[in-house]
Chain A
Amino acid sequence: DTGVSQDPRHKITKRGQNVTFRCDPISEHNRLYWYRQTLGQGPEFLTYFQNEAQLEKSRLLSDRFSAERPKGSFSTLEIQRTEQGDSAMYLCASSSREKLFFGSGTQLSVL
């Protein structure tokens, strides 16, 4: 499968715990995006990378959230001290120009 892959597909955690998600983009794509989607809403932009550089972070991304893309390949999104409001689908997408291709997402449930 040469599409965008995300791991894990589902994550259940207790409030206050840290979680980390991984995204592997389409190999020839230099841009990688993280979005968050809650029920009944469209994807909301969180942050994006061009190669290994993080170019922008949304104001939605509190200081408990951190993203990395070492060597410009896969990316990780970490949430520290999770809160119930963090429960959502976290989607990763990659692109070489405007067309975004999404992964299947990581569904996070914070109990």
Chain B
Amino acid sequence: GENVEQHPSTLSVQEGDSAVIKCTYSDSASNYFPWYKQELGKRPQLIIDIRSNVGEKKDQRIAVTLNKTAKHFSLHITETQPEDSAVYFCAAPRLGGGADGLTFGKGTHLIIQP
């Protein structure tokens, strides 16, 4: 099965600066990589995802990059705002294809300092 490592566990940035969170995965057959945002006491919500046939995907202030050779992918948040404060989880398919569910990283607590 897949193994996902995420770092850092905590990231503090000044409002307006950029934040980068990195994940590595173990299964070279994995082809789908989502990122979830979880605010305190709320459900994990999908914020962006990428498939293995592209190297980068952007959605306004957030972007995800994928390096298949190195088996790592990263979340980039630019012009951070207070509402970006949350725990972010990366994930990869448990068994390669994705329909069997996801394996999650341990999460990164992002703190936006005013």
A residues neighboring B (CB under 8 Å): 31, 33, 40-45, 48, 55-56, 91, 93, 95, 97-105
Contacts and interface: CB of A to CB of B under 8 A. Distances in A.
A39 to B, nearest CB: 10
A104 B45 CA distance: 10
A93 B99 CA distance: 12
A41 B104 CA distance: 9
Contacts, number: 55
Given A42-B105, A98-B93, A99-B49, A104 B99 contact: no
B interface, size bucket: 20 to 34
Given A104-B42, A104-B43, A98 B98 contact: yes
Interface of B: 6, 32, 34, 36, 42-46, 49, 89, 91, 93-94, 97-107
A97 B101 CA distance: 9
B32 A41 contact: no
A98 B45 contact: no
